[in-house]
Every structure is written in C-alpha cells, then in structure tokens.
Chain A
Amino acid sequence: MVKRNPKNELWDPVTFKADTLYQVSFSTLTVWLKRSREDWYLASQRPEKETDPAPLHEVKGVKRRQDLSFSRWVVGRDVSTVQFVPSMPDRSIVARPAVPLKVPTGRDALFFMSIPIWVRVLAQPPNGITLCELPSLILSNTWFGEPTSGELCYALRTRATRSLEEIEKHPYTAICPVSVRNRAPKELNFERLCVRVEHLNVYRGRERLWTNELEVRYQGDEHSSQVTIGKGAPEFAENLIKVCEAREPAEKTILKQSFSFLRSLTGF
C-alpha cells in the first residue's frame, strides 16, 4: 500500500463536482472553492495556527460559509478541474539570518533557505486559466538599497541551515540552496542577502518543493556580487519535476549588489 502523502497531493490537478463546497489547506493558508454551472467561487483564510495540510476535499453538509468573502470567476461550463501551483513571490526577498553569519576569506558555504511560496490557482482544461495567486504567508515589506533609490522587497528571517535534515518539511515553503563563495580579501558578514526569486523555477520533489540553486560570489563591498542561478533542478533531491516557470527568465549571470550592510539612519 502506498503511503498517503498529503503534502505531495496538494499540487495534483483535481476534478470537482458542481454546487459543492471544497477546501484545501496549505497549513498557513486555507482555500475554499465552489463551482456552479459556469462560474467558480473562491475564498481564502489564514488560520491563526498552522493546520495539517490537506488536499482538495469536499466539506460535507455545508453549501456556503457566510463568514467567508468569496470572489466569483467566470470560467465557462467546460472547466471543472483545479490545480494549485506553487510559485515564487512576486518581489525579491531580503533574507536575514536569525544569527549573523561570517564567512572567512577564501571559504565557501552552502546554506538552505526556506522561501514561503505563493499558491497559483489554475482552472483547467484546456490550457490553465490563472485565477489568482495567494501568498502562503504574508511577509513584511522591507527596503533594499538607499532610502532615495532602492527596491521594495519582502523580508524573510531565515535560519540559513547548513544541512537538509534540519529543514522542517512545510508544504508552504520551497528550499533554495545558496552557495556563498567569499573571494574578497576580508571576511564576509552575511547580514542579509537579496534573493531575486522572480528568476527562480519551482521544482516538486517527493516531499519538498525546491528552487534553482544560487551561487553568490562575494568580491568585496566595492564590487557587485556575482549571482549565478543554477541551470535546472538542484542536485539535492532526486526526480524533481519543474512545476512552475520563473516569473522572469534568468540571465546566465546577474550582477547585482546582493549583499548590503547595516546602515544607520540618523536624525528625525
């Protein structure tokens, strides 16, 4: 007997009946779905505490929940299959290690970061109509760069774990392997890293979701860090299937000022 893996089943396409209320849980996000003859009704909720993940299932005995705010989608009569696709957030993420890290000169370090995914709701067939995208976790905004000319990003506190076993298997996160190579003449204070998640694909493994591997070559404060996005799926898991294309195609090498250092803002 095959062991049921609800985390994995979350991303499978499901055909569902009309006039019945359905629910799917991504631990931190619950989506409610109902189909009439031509229209789909969609609502989402964020539970106060994490719940167990559950693939799309019928909510018996309930036709409609009054406490939910449904949006209505005109999709057509022939559309009866839904697929939830894990995608990357729509803005870059500034990851800050919970404990500041230092990488001595000439050393390399591999970290694993858990990036909260966005859930893309696709109505099928024929080609998949994207109804909406829902963040699995609401991340706080943050600013990367100068106050006069920077970039709006999402803030992410990361444990920046060094081994795969330490990473918790959440259904709402994708693992991004980051190799940091310090090629500067001085140590690297890894205080924050801007991850351009819009260039990352999402891969589905047996138990986890993954993104492309990132290689960051640090060459000093004065130089831009060289960020290379790995081609294809990372090598840390077997039989990975690409489930979501990057929002923006990745160039071979992105020269970006990826590391930034604590800056004190004075005056009020």
Chain B
Amino acid sequence: MFESIWAEIVGFFTPERFRTLVVILIAVIAGIVVIKILNTLTSRVTRRHLSQQYKMLIRKGIRYTGAVVLLFIVLHLLGVKITALLGAAGIVGIAIGFASQTSMSNLISGLFMISEKPFEIGDVIKMETTVGIVLSIDLLSVKIRTFDNQYIRIPNEKLLGSELTTITRFPIRRMDINLGVAYKTDINHLKSVLQEIAAANPFCLDEPEPLIVFTKFGDSALEFLFGVWFYKTDFLNLKNSIMQEIKERFDREGIEIPFPHLSLYSGSATDPMPIRIVKKPRSTP
C-alpha cells in the first residue's frame, strides 16, 4: 500500500509540474519580499508627514492588495482561468455583501472616521462609560486599552453614531472640583484659601487662572465649583495632590465641609425641637 501511495506521489511530480511548483514558490517568496520592501519604503517616506492611523492604513492596504495580486498570480500559474473566477467572485461578492451588511457599515463608518480624524492613536477617548487609550484605528473597529488594562473593541459604526469625547485632544484641561462648605464660612476667606492652594500646587497651571464659582445654596452647604487647569499628562498628580491639600488646608483654616443634615422644628419656624433629658431607670439584678 505504501508503495502505491509513493508511486502516485512520484507520478504526480512530473518534470513539468515540478517546474510549475518551483516557479510558484519563487513567485510567492518574491511577492512577499516585494510587499515587505514596499511597506518599509512607504513607512520611511510617510514617517514624518502622516499620522499613525494613515500610516497603518497604507501598510494594511499594501499588504492586502499584495496578497490578492499574489493569489491571482499563483492561480494563473496553476492554470486556473481568472476571468471565470472573477465572474464567480462577483456573484459570491453580492452574496457576501448581503451577509455582511454590518461589516460594510463598519467599513464605511471607518472610512468616514479616518477622514474626519476625531482622535489619533495614543489619545484618551471616552464613549458612554468606556474610557481608554486608543491602540489602533482599523477599518472595522477601534481598539482601546482601558486604564485597568482591558482590551476593548468598539465597532466604527457605534463610534460614528455616538457622542464621543477625545479627552486629550487639547494640551490643557480643567479639573472641576465641587465643594460644599458650612453656611457659617466667610466666602472671601474661602476664595483666598482656594487661590492659595492652587498657587502652591506645581501641577496646577497659573494661567488660565483657577475658576471659583459660588454655584448654589445647597441643602446642607454653600456649594462652590473650584476649577483648576492642568497639563493633560498631570491629571493623576494633580488629582491626588490637590484633594489632599484642600482637606488639610480646610482643617487648618477651620473651614467645615458639612455632611448632609436635617433640622427638625416643632411648630415655631426657627426654635429647635425641645428635648427633655430623662434618667435611665436602674436595672434590677
């Protein structure tokens, strides 16, 4: 039996077939080398002029086009009629097109997004509740890495149809801190304390100046918005330091941060509810 299989294999490799296989092998190797050279050359040419996603798009375009061309060359060398295959491919293409409407939608959304350029690789984006760093922008989806190191794939169609925030688009940002202080607090003193806190923190930008807004008379506190500007990479440094500094400074200055409380009145508008202290009855053994 083994001998018959071996005879068939030897019979299959006629000198002509063997020559064709060698030619195919050479064509495949040469094709892969040409694709690699083309990719390297375009990477070098576009290194300074194009953004990361355009470079990636060009690289992928060259790779996929090269692979298709290589496939046709191999088929041609094998003696397959390309015209018939293309005709069949058209029919198959329509069928695949119907079956992959979502993919096509993502693809077109991807093209729109690449031309619109709402963010770049390395930007921090926020969509609904997801926040992360953009790893790649592909034709079908955008891949991001969240700060707790999870890999998330967002389809382009969803990105295009939703509200998207590019957090790191501009070099500086404002951190808004909502503060509540007791009603007895001297507002001018509070404002000067907040200004001093901002001035003493090296991560807080001197300019644009910090924003201090008296927002409302809250249920339990006077409410303020304290907005400090920072360079986009200093977010965590500023957040960690300024919150602690506010607490420590408020403690030193005697500025009370009240917790929600409720006053009960019994009839009269401002008189407190009368309280009678009753002695605890002695328990009998």
Contact = CB atoms under 8 A, between A and B. Distances in A.
Interface in A171-212: 192
A147 B208 contact: yes
Contact of B170 (A140, A144, A148, A152): A148
Contacts of B225: 268
A143 B227 contact: no
Contacts of A149: 171
Interface stretch (B62-70, B129-137, B197-205): B197-205
Contacts, number: 56
Contacts of B174: 268
A143 B211 CA distance: 15
Interface stretch (B142-150, B228-236, B263-271): B228-236
Contact of A150 (B171, B176, B199): B171
B206 A142 contact: yes
Given A150-B172, A268-B213, A143 B202 contact: no
A142 B203 CA distance: 9
B206 A155 contact: yes
Given A138-B202, A140-B201, A94 B170 contact: no
A129 interface: no
A147 B172 contact: yes
A140 B172 contact: no
Interface residues of B, number: 24
A110 to B, nearest CB: 25
A71 to B, nearest CB: 20
A152 B230 CA distance: 10
Interface string B218-241: 000000010101110010000000
B204 A140 contact: yes
Contacts of B208: 143, 147, 263, 265
Contacts of A150: 171-172
B170 A141 contact: no
B8 interface: no
- Interface magnitude class on chain A: 10 to 19
A198 B231 CA distance: 20
B152 to A, nearest CB: 28
A255 interface: no
* Most chain B beta-carbon neighbours within 10 Å: one of A143, A149, A150, A192: A143
Contacts of A268: 174, 176, 211, 213, 225, 227
**Majority secondary structure, B binding face:** mixed
Interface in A232-268: 263, 265, 268
Interface string B172-200: 10101000000000000000000000011
A97 to B, nearest CB: 14
* Most chain A beta-carbon neighbours within 10 Å: one of B200, B202, B211, B227: B202
A94 B206 contact: yes
Given A147-B170, A148-B170, A141 B203 contact: yes
Given A147-B172, A150-B171, A141 B206 contact: yes
A134 to B, nearest CB: 14
A139 interface: yes
A94 B201 CA distance: 16
Contact of B205 (A96, A138, A143, A192): A143
A160 to B, nearest CB: 16
Nearest to A145: B171
B128 interface: no
Nearest to A266: B211
B202 A141 contact: yes
A250 B204 CA distance: 30
Interface string B5-40: 000000000000000000000000000000000000
A144 B229 CA distance: 13
B199 to A, nearest CB: 7
Interface string A123-158: 000000000000000111111100111101001000
Contacts of A148: 170-171
A80 to B, nearest CB: 35
22 contacts: A94-B206, A140-B199, A140-B206, A141-B205, A141-B206, A141-B231, A141-B234, A143-B172, A143-B205, A143-B208, A143-B231, A147-B171, A147-B208, A149-B171, A155-B205, A155-B207, A265-B208, A265-B209, A265-B211, A268-B176, A268-B213, A268-B225
Those 5 A-B pairs whose CB atoms lie nearest each other, nearest first: A155-B206, A142-B206, A265-B208, A140-B202, A142-B207
Interface of B: 170-172, 174, 176, 199-209, 211, 213, 225, 227, 229-231, 234
Given A150-B171, A192-B207, A268-B227, 13 more contacts: A94-B206, A96-B206, A138-B202, A141-B205, A141-B234, A147-B171, A148-B170, A148-B171, A152-B171, A155-B206, A155-B207, A263-B208, A265-B209
Interface of A: 94, 96, 138-144, 147-150, 152, 155, 192, 263, 265, 268
